[in-house]
Structure 1
Amino acid sequence: MPTGVELRGFLQGLPGVDQVGADERAARLGARSIKTTAKASAIDLAISMVDLTTLEGADTAGKVRALCAKAVRPDPAQPDAPKVGAVCVYPDLVGVAVDALRGSGIGVASVATAFPAGRAPLEAKLADTRAAVADGASEIDMVIDRGAFLSGDLRKVYEEIVLTKEACGDAHLKVILETGELRTYDNVRRASWLAMRAGADFIKTSTGKVSPAATLPVTMIMLEAVRDFRDATGRTVGVKPAGGIRTTKDAIKYLVVVNEVAGPDWLTPEYFRLGASSLLNDLLMQRRKLATGVYSGPDHFTLD
């Protein structure tokens, strides 16, 4: 286990991020257009990358079962529409989702570790994680202690990720950086590397409960980090932007950035996810439009 001094030295030794340059490059990549034939493939790819999510205090077992049915068959009028990447719920509803998705091949993700604030004793976070995995979660989305990170207690952040990864067993660990609270692009890069060195299988931008959530420049910086991390270690880590991605146009911008920054190896649900449930209906509407030439309004699809 590296000391705090060692972690600080490594992270401060990472190249700084040119904020103006990052914003400009992300804007250029986001402005690229794709042809109609490529758009159809991009829409299906984006659907397969969606983590269909419900994280509300009023969530019920019935709502989760309905969400799972949509995950398996997003558009009953187009049975060839792909399934989503995963269904994400609170830990106490994992069992409901697992039962509803049995045999579908769709995994269940759960936001453990006192989501979204992460303000809980470590043992409570680990117990939350173990309970979710015991109920069948195949992915755990944990939040880092942003207060510890920003105050320089890097060893605490690192240790919590290591211990949560251990508590996951065979489940994948997605580490939420909550980039809207990290203040600078340099901090986003450092938090990305810290999470990966501690064992993260995915790094995720946001909880979706803090503004700003996912942005193209921040996601680009995280994609650069996973690319460079694989070059340095040989291990591939995924990226998940979450929050604020609502339209097909937005989703395609992210896919372009993935391809251009990290490379085509990341253009798969195994290594790239979109945490944006409201996005799915727009993807489905655009998919129908390409197939039929007719634009179906949002009332043709269930509300998530």
Structure 2
Amino acid sequence: MTLFRSLDDHLPLTGRLAMGVEYDGSAYCGFQFLKQAPSVQGALEKALGRVASQAVRVHSSGRTDSGVHATRQIIHFDPPVPRTEKAWVFGVNANLPRDVAVRWVKSVPDSFHSRFKALARRYRYVILNQPSRPVLERANATWCRDPLDTEAMHRAAQALVGEHDFSSFRAAGCQSKTPWRHLHFIEVHRHGQLVVIDVQGNAFLHHMIRNIVGALVTVGRGERGDDYLAELMALKNRRLADVTAPACGLHFVDSLYDESWGLPREPLGPNLLAFLGEWTGERPLPDCPMVEFRRGRPVVADQEAT
């Protein structure tokens, strides 16, 4: 599958548009707009407004915390004026700071919503596991000088798969109405000195992944056993749980939608892991009511009861 194609410079795009966005979150308070600090949403809306010569409001597939990166954040917006594909991509990128970029733009039906139509979100947490501190990777990987047992980390993480109350991994300031989330899978792999925690779920609580990673590193160091994550989850108390891992290692790498929307497929990031060659959409989604509902399919009675 090629990454290179010509952008249309003749046909103006009308109606709702979806965009794929990549950013280094180091200098931002997160994706969502805040008056008192720079945000990715603020940078995007400013750049889109310059191309459209009018104010533009964007909606995202998910929020990211301060300092967290993204290689496939999906946004949508309703453009006030028609512009070509090339004008949107090149024009917006020309007006964005160097740490944010648009990868593609596509016309979608008005019923598309980047947040409410998302079937799943996928993150990767990258740890550089070596004795010396990183230099080139310091902004997009977390450094751990102690040797990590990735097999033990992977075994411990499997207790989190499925639908659970994740109160022990929820930040004190989390605004979600419920601590329940459905984790589709979580895997821990080693690629040389890189340790990658790959996790996908229907949605995530504030600091949830970073809190999970903090506990997994404790297991990897040999300080706790394989049942540590299960024990923490059973406590349902964040105050009794482990530390929060740094934001710099966390990457939002995919937001999954039904194939009928026709969104472009891309290799999963970050580019540190591009050699793995894995493309978006290869993992099957669980057979659960939320996924079927967002696909627009009827939910059978026995599923509703679960």
TM-score norm. by structure 2 comes to 0.28
Q: TM-score, normalised by structure 1?
A: 0.28
Structure with greater strand percent: 2
If each structure's helix is expressed as a fraction of its own residues, which one has the higher value? 1
State the structure with more CA Rg.
2
